Amino acid sequence: MKDLKKYAIIPATPEQLYLALTTEITARLWTGDVVSIDASVNGEFSLWDGAITGRFLELVPSSKIVQEWYFGETDKPSIVTLKLHEHKKGTSLEVRQTNIPDEDYENIAEGWEDPYISYLIDFYTDED
């Protein structure tokens, strides 16, 4: 099992980014795919038509989201912690994911960059 840490600057306020990560309609807009979100403690979620599934463990509005991601038959759950910090260019998103199965690590690491983070940046980038 491996752990991962990533940082990104998203051109949105922490409030906007929190809503994008916890509101079904907004998540559908930035992912461009099928999404299901029950943003409550123990509520389940699914992104990209089931490519990412899990449940919410902790929700601190505009600040922190803790999720358990499902990986089949693993002994320990993979825990994702998303921290949102104000930044002069929007929001600094801190991603920490623990207990990633070795065989899934490379795919998960790449997936955080593209599509997850890149889609959020594109969604909030002003294209006038």
Domains and CATH numbers, the chain: 2-124 (3.30.530.20)
DSSP at 127: -
pLDDT tens for 89-123 read 999 999 999 999 999 899 999 999 999 999 999 99
Q: Which long-range contacts (CB under 8 A, 24 or more apart) does 18-21 make?
A: 18/61, 18/62, 18/63, 18/65, 18/84, 20/120, 20/123, 21/65, 21/82
Complete edge-to-edge strand list for the sheet that includes strand 90-100 = 2-10, 90-100, 78-87, 64-69, 52-60, 44-47, 36-37
pTM above 0.85, yes or no: yes
